[in-house]
Amino acid sequence: KVYADKDSASKYVADRIANLIATKQVKGERAILGLATGSTPKGVYKELVRLHKDEGLSFANVVTFNLDEYYPMHPIEDQSYVSFMKANLFDHIDVVKSNIHIPDGTLSLEAIEAFCQSYEQKIKDFGGLDLQLLGIGRSGHIGFNEPGSDHRSMTRLVSLDEITRLDAVDDFKGYDKVPTQAITMGIKTIIEAKQVILMALTQRKAQIMHRAIYGEVSKEVPATFLQKLTHVEYILDNQAAELL
Taking the least distance from each CB to ligand GLP, the nearer of 19 and 39 is: 39
Q: Which 136-155 positions form the footprint of ligand GLP (CB under 6 A)? A: 136-137, 143-144
Q: Residue 244 contacts by C-beta under 8 Å, 6 or more apart in sequence?
A: 2, 209, 210, 213, 214, 236
The 48-87 site mask, x for binding ligand GLP (CB under 6 A), equals -------------------xx-------------------
Q: How far apart are the first and last CA of the chain?
A: 11
- Residue 3, Ramachandran bin (φ over 0: left; ψ between -120 and 50: alpha; else beta): beta
**Is residue 178 close enough to count as binding ligand GLP by CB under 6 A?**
no
Least distance (Å) between residue 137 CB and ligand GLP: 4
Query: Which of 8, 19, 23, 39 touches ligand GLP by CB under 6 A?
Result: 39
**Is residue 32 close enough to count as binding ligand GLP by CB under 6 A?**
no
**Is residue 38 close enough to count as binding ligand GLP by CB under 6 A?**
yes
**C-beta of residue 48 within 8 angstroms of C-beta of residue 131:** no
**Is residue 37 close enough to count as binding ligand GLP by CB under 6 A?**
yes
Least distance (Å) between residue 102 CB and ligand GLP: 12
Angle between helices 81-88 and 42-55 (to 10 degrees): 40
**Is residue 105 close enough to count as binding ligand GLP by CB under 6 A?**
no
Q: How far apart are alpha carbons 9 and 2 in whole angstroms?
A: 8
Greatest CA separation for the chain: 50
Q: Which stretch binds ligand GLP (CB under 6 A): 31-39, 46-54, 56-64, 125-133?
A: 31-39
- Residue 103, Ramachandran bin (φ over 0: left; ψ between -120 and 50: alpha; else beta): beta
Q: How far apart are alpha carbons 162 and 172 in whole angstroms?
A: 15
Query: Which of 135, 140, 186, 222 touches ligand GLP by CB under 6 A?
Result: 135
Residues that bind ligand GLP (CB under 6 A): 36-40, 67-68, 135-137, 143-144, 164
